[in-house]
A and B are shown apart, each in its own frame.
Chain A
Amino acid sequence: MKYMKLEDRLLQAVTYLICFLAACITAYPLIYIFSMSISRPEAVVANSVTLLPKGFSLQAYELVFRNKDIWLSYWNTIVYAVGGTAVSVLLTMLAAYPLSRRHFFLRRPLSLFFSISMFFTGTLVPMYLLINRLGLYNTRMAIILPTGAAAYYIIMARTFLSTIPDSLYESAKIDGAGEFTILWRIFVPLSKPIMAVLILYYAVQQWNSYFNAMVYLPDKNLQPLQLYLMKVLINNESATSGGVGGAVSMSMISLQLKYVVIVVALIPILCVYPFLQKYFTKGMMIGAVKE
C-alpha cells in the first residue's frame, strides 16, 4: 500500500467503522427475528434472546405450517405477483417500444400522456369508485389489473430500447419484417436485462403491497399474505388454526409465532435477493439516466 498521511488513515478508519456499524444496524433486526423464531419458546417468553438463538425448537414453525390460512394467502400472493407482473411487464414493453422509435409521429405526445401520471393522478376515492364500477371489487382482477405500466418504468424501458442499434431495426425493415415481428423477434430477446429489472420491480411491489387488498378484497379466500401478516402482527389475531397440545401453552408460543410468520414471509425475498441484487441496482442506474 502506498504511503498515507495520518489524516487520511484516520478518515479511513472512521469510514470503515461507520460502514460496519451501518451494516450491523441493518442486519441486527433480521438476525434477531430469525433467532427468536427458532429458539425454545421458554427463552422467547423470558426475553432472554438478544442476538443468537437460545436452545432450538421448531414447534412454532410446525404450528404455522399446519395452518391452512397462511398457505392459502401464500398461494394468493403468488397468483397476484405472477399475474400482476405479467400484465405490467407486457404493458410497459408495449409502451416503451413505440416510444423508442425516433420516427414515430406520436412519440412526444404519448410520452407526455404517460408522464402526466407521475405528477397528477386520481385520488384514493375516485380509484375506489372506479374499481367498484368496473365490477372488480372483491375479485382477483382488482389487484392484478390496476397496477399496469408505471410511467417511470416505461421511460426506463424506453431509454434501454433506444440503446439497441438502429442498424438492427433498419436491416429487419429492409428484410420486410413488420413492427410486431421486430419487437417480438429482435427487441424482446435483446431486452432481457431490462425485462429482468422490470419483472423484479413489479413482482416485489406486488409481493409487498397490502393496501389495495385491504380495501378491495373483503373475501378471506382471496386475501394475500401481506394482509394475513397484518392481522397477525398488527391486529394481534392468532396465527394458529387449532389448539396447541403438549407442554407449551398457547400464550407462551403466540409471541414466537409472530416471528415465525415474519421469517416465512421474508424467506422468498431474502432467497432471491443475492441473485437479483445486481439487477436491481442496474435498474436504478438506467432509471437515473436522463433522456
Chain B
Amino acid sequence: MAAKSVVAKRQIKPPLRARAAAGARQLWKNIRRDKALLLIVLPVVIHYLIFVYYPMYGNIIAFKDYSPVLGINGSEWVGFKYFLQFFRSPYFWRVLRNTLLISCYSILWGFPIPIIFALMTNDLRNGIFKRVVQAVSYIPYFISTVIICGMLVNFLSPSNGIVNTIIELFGGKPINFLMEPGWFRTVFIASGIWQGFGWSSIIYLAALTGINPELYEAATMDGASKLQQVIHVSVPCILPTIIVTFIMQIGTLMSVGYEKLILLYNPVTLDVADVISSYVYRTGLVEGNYSFGSAVGLFNSVINLLLVFLANRISKKVSEVSLW
C-alpha cells in the first residue's frame, strides 16, 4: 500500500494531483452532505447488486464449462465453444426463424390495432358507452398467462371446445388447433392481441387527449370531414408516441416470451413454436446444460440490446424522436 502511494506520488504531476485532491474533497463533502439520501438508497443498490448485477455477471458461465462443484469463478474457461455449438446445431435456424416470424407477425397485426382502437374510442361521443368499451377492453390484460392458456386449451379442444362446436354447427370439420403446426402461430398471436389491444391503446389515448382542440376547430372551419381530421390532425399529433412505441417493439423483436409458449407448445408443434427463450428454458433449466443455456440466452440478450440501439438510431435520424 505504501509503495503504491509512493509510485502514485511520483507519477502524478502537481496540478493533476491538486485537482484529484480537490475532487476527493468535493466527493467527501458531497457524501457528508447527502449521507441520509445515500443511506435511503443503499438497500435498493444492494438488492440490485445481488439480484440484477450478480446474475448479469453470471452470464459469464456461457464462456465456461460450468460445474456446480467449481462454481462460477472456478469453472474452466472454454471461450465460444457453446456459442459455436448453438450456431452449428440444427435448432439454431429453427428457433431463430420462429422467434422472428412470431414477433414480426405480432407487430404486423398487433401494432396497428391499438392505434386504430384508440382513435375510434377517442371519437365516441356517448360517455357511458365509451367508458364501458374501454373498461371491458382492458380486462384481459389482467388475466394471468396460465388462465389465458387454460382458456385456449379448453376453448379450442377438438372434442368439447366452444370454437369447434361452432365450427361443427356451420357444418365444418373440427380442428385440433393446438396440435396443428399450421395453426399454432395464429392461435398464439391472436390470443396475444386479444389480451393486449385495449391496454396498449391507453398510451395513444393519453396522447390524443393532449391534442389542442383548436387544431380540430381550425380543421372544421376549413371544411375537413371527421375522417380527414383523424388523418391530418390526430395521427400526426400522436406520431411521436407511435414512433417511440414502435422503437420499443423493434427492441423486443428477438424476445418472444417463453412463459406463454411453454404452456401451449407440445412435441407436435415444437417445429413452429420453439423460440430462443423457450429453447433456453428447455436446454438450460430442464435439461440442465447450464453453460449452453446461458450461451443461447446471452446471445439473445446481446442481439436485443443491439436492436434497441439500432432502432433508436434510425428513429433519431428519420424523425428526431428517440428514447434517450
Residues of chain A at the chain B interface (Cβ within 8 Å): 5, 7-8, 11-12, 15-16, 18-20, 22-23, 25-27, 29-30, 32-33, 45, 47, 50, 91, 94-95, 97-99, 101, 103-106, 110, 113-114, 117, 119-130, 134, 145-146, 148-149, 154, 178-180, 183, 204, 207-211, 215, 226-227, 229-230, 232-234, 255, 258-259, 262, 265-266, 269-270, 273-274, 277, 280-281, 284-285, 288
Contacts and interface: CB of A to CB of B under 8 A. Distances in A.
A220 B57 CA distance: 32
A12 B144 contact: no
B269 interface: no
B63 interface: no
A151 B145 CA distance: 23
Contacts of B48: 113-114, 117, 148-149
Interface stretch (B5-13, B33-41, B83-91, B102-110): B33-41
A15 B123 contact: yes
* Chain A at the B interface: SS class: helix
25 contacts: A11-B227, A12-B123, A19-B120, A25-B194, A32-B162, A106-B41, A122-B52, A124-B297, A125-B297, A126-B54, A126-B58, A127-B55, A130-B50, A130-B54, A130-B55, A145-B51, A179-B40, A180-B40, A209-B144, A226-B146, A234-B146, A234-B263, A259-B154, A265-B144, A277-B135
B212 interface: no
Contact of B226 (A11, A127, A179): A11
Contacts of B56: 120-122, 126
Given A26-B194, A95-B41, A130 B136 contact: no
B4 to A, nearest CB: 26
Given A233-B147, A262-B147, A122 B54 contact: yes
Contacts of A145: 51
Given A19-B120, A19-B121, A113-B45, A12 B147 contact: no
A87 to B, nearest CB: 9
Given A95-B44, A104-B34, A119-B305, 16 more contacts: A15-B123, A19-B133, A22-B137, A27-B139, A97-B41, A98-B37, A119-B308, A120-B305, A126-B59, A148-B44, A149-B44, A178-B36, A180-B40, A266-B143, A269-B143, A288-B241
Given A233-B149, A288-B206, A126 B55 contact: yes
A106 B34 contact: yes
Contact of A5 (B132, B135, B225, B294): B225
Given A120-B301, A148-B48, A125 B284 contact: yes
A62 B123 CA distance: 46
